[in-house]
Structure 1
Amino acid sequence: MSTAHHLSMLASLAPWFHVKPHALHVAGTLDVARLAAARLVTELAALLQQKQHVVLTPSVGRTMTPIFEVLRQDYRHTIEWQRVICFQMDEYAGMPSSDPASFAYSLRRDFIEPMGIARFEHFYDGDGACKATPREYEHKLRQLGGIDCALHGVGRNSHIGFNEPRQSVRLSSGVVRLSPATRAANRVDFQYGASLGLRVLREARSSIVVMLGEEKRDACYQLLFGGGGPQVPVSELRSCPQVSIFIDYAAVPCSLSDRDYQATPPARHAAPASLV
């Protein structure tokens, strides 16, 4: 049995996964980028047939780089991108949008401007001044009808946006303290980040989740099979109306067997074992 087929079969055993029109795709890294980009464009095209504008909230980072490249190369003229309104998902607190190290700058350079997106809402001005509090920012998003499509990367510690693992659930948008794990993974010294909250993210009509590399194995396991809770922010996406998961072979959790999901799974998977 192939790795992809085995994982898909096990995912179908997860109670949350088979209830709604969710999907799981396992492929090579470059194919994952192509598949995720194609799904995003398909979702946006369908939404644009129903409404004048759609709201997209994309992640930024190494996971998104090949996806944005595929979009620029293959889909620049496929849909009316000027009808897409882009809301930034997260940013380092106080980071000027004009700084090349900012998420806003990267998003504008790699996606917004090449695709011809006319409206881009972001947390901070070019001088680092707060354009609106995160809650005001969320309110503006909700006035447009909420998120139509969210494009997620996932942190090694299972964070989405800058919603870090916590002792208690924090659902609202706000400025949060970044965990040492996130700061180390991103190679930054910033202590805080502004982020859309879990509540508005999990209400997205369509959520596309991409995980690449062996360092994302645990996050993948936690999304599909973990026990959930505030220590696993990505598990909040299980309540989304539609979740499309794209992972490469390296991100497939090592310890998977049918027996693992007959009962409540552990917080972390066991020592590596063969999947196939």
Structure 2
Amino acid sequence: MMHGKRYPLTVEVFADYKQMSQRAADIVIELVKEKPDAVLGLPTGSTPLGFYDALVASGVSLARVRTFNLDEYLGLPRTHPESYYAFMKRALYDRTDLRPENCHIPDGTAADPDEECRRYEEAIRAAGGLDILVLGVGHNGHIGFNEPGSSWDARTRVVELAESTRKANARFFNSIDEVPRKAITMGIGTIMEARRILLLASGEGKAAAIKELVEGEPRPEVPATVLQYHPDTSVLLDAAAASLLRR
């Protein structure tokens, strides 16, 4: 279990989603210009879509960048439109000069999922670790698919999805019955090794989780609160996601 020094989070609040997304893109663009072969950890979901749009619109070359996604549904082939691989193809891979061999995402159909998790961890290590990891946050405070109660030293592993998470993701499927029950996710221990973390949140639905992250005590019941122990985390919010914060 993680403990020790807590660091002040850098919290930036923007008038709207578009400004928040642009700020996230600007931070990543600045890194890529300084370090063209930067290693990026990337999320899926609705929150980062504006970030990907701004990254693409900037025209920055990602030809030498290496990317590692946070998670993938277990059992969904890459050809499934709701696989996170298909999401990344639509949002980023097919719109930039990223090289396919540099784009890493867990294989949800691996014959041995546990071995796939070990392989993925090794690939992140071999790349030199994550320079920046972009995160979203779930309504229940999950980061990646690390649901409430997840161990803070866990590595990439197979996890059961919380019912609330499956309900939240059902909008992308024909019915909740089609939402996978398991996923492969980077563990909190893996996430915390990223050199810099950007957490993005927008909308009132995320305000309670953001209040816990910024003003609450770190506790496994709200996985995002672990970021208070990370030395370089920026929390980028639109006004709605920041609406419950004291300041």
Would you call these one fold, judging by a TM-score over 0.5?
yes
- 1:181-260 equivalent positions in 2, closer than 5 A: 181-187=164-170, 188=176, 189-254=179-244, 256=246
CA contact (8 A) 2:31 2:38 kept: no
Instruction: Compare relative contact order (CA 8 Å, sep 6+) and give the higher one, 1 or 2.
Output: 2
Q: Deviations over 1:70-122 (max 9, x none)?
A: 2222x22x2x3011111121011121112111111111221122111111112
Q: Distance in 2 between matches of 1:245 and 1:168?
A: 22
Q: Distance in 1 between matches of 2:127 and 2:82?
A: 29
> So what's the TM-score if we normalise by structure 2?
0.86
One-letter identity of the residue aligned with 1:151: V
1:45 corresponds in structure 2 to: 33
Q: 2:81 aligns with which of 80, 96, 100?
A: 100
Q: Distance in 2 between matches of 1:254 and 1:43?
A: 31
Percent identity (aligned): 28
Q: Deviations over 1:212-242 (max 9, x none)?
A: 0111011111211111121111122223332
> So what's the TM-score if we normalise by structure 1?
0.78
Q: Distance in 1 between matches of 2:11 and 2:203?
A: 19
Q: Does 1:117 align with 2:77?
A: no
Q: Does 1:166 align with 2:166?
A: no
Q: Deviations over 1:162-182 (max 9, x none)?
A: 111117545221000100111
Q: Tell me, what secondary structure is at the counterpart of 2:240?
A: helix
Would you say how many aligned residue pairs link Structure 1 and Structure 2? Answer: 231
Shift >6 Å, 4+ stretches: none
2:135 corresponds in structure 1 to: 152
Q: Does 1:135 align with 2:125?
A: no
Please say which structure displays the higher CA radius of gyration.
Answer: 1
The gaps in structure 1 that reach 5 residues or longer are 1-14, 257-274
CA RMSD of aligned residues (A): 2.0
One-letter identity of the residue aligned with 2:181: Q
Shift of 1:129: 3.1
Q: Which range is displaced more, 24-33 or 82-91?
A: 24-33
The gaps in structure 2 that reach 5 residues or longer are 1-5, 171-175
